[in-house]
Amino acid sequence: MITTLGPVLRLPFALLAVLLTLASCATLPYQNPPTAGDPSIMGKDEVSLEQFLAFALPKNPAYGRAGWTEIWQAYRDACRAEGVSQAVALVQMVHETNWLRFGGSVKARQNNFAGIGVTGGGVAGLSFPDVRTGALAHVQHLKAYGSTKPLSSPTVDPRFKYVKRGTAPTVGALTKRWAMDPNYGDKLTRLYRSLEGLA
């Protein structure tokens, strides 16, 4: 044992300290670093109403200006409360609901704007009593992935506790976590850039 450690003990102290530091880092959980241009889940960015209407209303004019405005207000308030990027939450909402046309397992009356609790095979997922609660549940679920900070609002997302906190700090990292589609993050990022371009 002494002969094995001998060369190590002869190393300069500074080099030995560096090696010990690197060895200790090896035990830390690995997190993918954010990719340049990959939007962060958390952030104080806000989307103006006119910007959002220019983005969403042409895609589903039947939902109406008043309906889209109600959605925008609910997401603005939820994102302000929880520190989540409003732009990220809004683009995920339009993606998950097909621009509020729904048509999949989730029905409009459920106020479930992010497919929370949907597992496939016709399982409809969770229902929320109104638009504001549904938007807040979605934003809280995003915060579960994007941050390790506690919620600022009373918990309305029943699945918040099941998320491994902070595992998806960026939109790209939601791929294979929020949805199994290998292009999920790319699809959301394209929508994000489209919304951003209307600012």
Instruction: Write down the pLDDT at residue 34.
Output: 43
The C-alpha atoms of residue 80 and residue 51 are separated, in whole angstroms, by 18
pLDDT at 7 over 50: no
The secondary structure of residue 35, as a DSSP letter, is P
Output the pLDDT for position 121: 78
Average pLDDT over residues 87-107: 96
Q: State the average pLDDT for the chain.
A: 86
Angle at 140 between CA 138 and CA 143, to 5 degrees: 115
Confirm or reject CATH 1.10.530.10 for domain 39-196, answering yes or no.
Answer: yes
**pLDDT given for residue 187 in this prediction:** 98
